[in-house]
Amino acid sequence: MKAPTIAAILMSGLSLLSGINPAQAQAPQDFVGNWTVEGGPLGACSINLSGQAMGGQLKATTYTCVGPMSFAWAWAPNGTGLSILGTNNFPIATLRPSRGVLVGQLNDGSLVTLKPASGQRIGAPRLAQPPAAAPGQRENCRRRYDNDRCAEATDLVPPFTGNGPVRVQALNQLNIRAGEDMKSPVIGKLEVGQCFLVEACRQTPQWGLRCRVPVGDSGMKGYVIKYFSDQTGDYIVFRNQCR
């Protein structure tokens, strides 16, 4: 007997999706395909989100993943994104579309990103659009990651720490890594809008600007980025003061 397709699974759950505003929801079939998994304690690996069902659920298969993601066996759309499920439908990760990728958290609290590896086109519509920029302005400024507007001049430079640590504010979820390079393990995280201390920043030869921060009250130190770039432009991910 042929396995039911994603359309059949989605039709069976239509009552659950009926309350979702179509303008805010990514089409579930857009998630089908291969993805590269980055972030969290697992390192880079891959996952396939299948359009075929197994045991009444859409199948997920991971390759070379360790940590929580290694237990993934199913996935399900949830209206704003998707959930990765393990045995007995235990939630492993919850993800949402953001700037062409899927971002979210694993069940151990680690931040995780899924990048399309099969040509998927992912992008969550914004609920509120900022005022339209003048022609050329979008390309010629470094923007705030939280609202897509040009950053103020005072936030474009690293925070001045010559007189001691500076209190700043995250504009996006940030990983705190043990070292300056992007392959260092994640030892903490910061949420959007969270204020935190920056002790010092320096321009590294290979990885760009890195800023040293305390990791909560643990006594540990870690590193965060200040700047971020992708196919949509250049951004700052924290502002140099806290309000």
Over the stretch 189-229, which tens digit does the pLDDT of each residue have?
A: 999 899 999 999 999 888 889 999 999 888 999 999 998 88
Q: Which two tokens stand for residue 153?
A: 């001049």
Query: Is the pLDDT higher at 198 or at 134?
Result: 198
12-21, 38-47, 211-220 — most confident range: 211-220
pLDDT band at 41 (very low <50, low <70, confident <90, very high): low
* Closest alpha carbon to 159 in 198, 118, 130, 210: 198
Rounded to whole angstroms, how far apart are CA atoms 37 and 42? 9
Q: Is 43 left (phi over 0), alpha (psi -120 to 50) or beta?
A: left
In this prediction, residues 44-57 reach a mean pLDDT of 81
pLDDT at 14 over 90: no
Rounded to whole angstroms, how far apart are CA atoms 137 and 223? 31
Query: Is the pLDDT higher at 129 or at 235?
Result: 235
Q: Which two tokens stand for residue 81?
A: 């994104």
Over the stretch 52-111, which tens digit does the pLDDT of each residue have?
A: 776 678 889 988 888 888 889 899 988 788 999 988 888 999 998 988 899 988 887 788
Over the stretch 139-181, which tens digit does the pLDDT of each residue have?
A: 468 888 888 889 898 999 999 999 999 999 999 889 999 999 8
pLDDT at 116 over 50: yes
C-alpha angle 143/145/149, rounded to 5°?
40
Kindly report the pTM of this predicted structure: 0.47
For 12, half-sphere exposure in the C-beta direction (CA atoms, 13 angstrom radius) is 10
Rounded to whole angstroms, how far apart are CA atoms 53 and 103? 24
Domains contained in the chain, CATH given: 6-116 (2.40.128.10), 143-239 (2.30.30.40)
Residues 6+ apart with CB under 8 A from 140: none
pLDDT band at 122 (very low <50, low <70, confident <90, very high): confident
In this prediction, residues 101-127 reach a mean pLDDT of 78
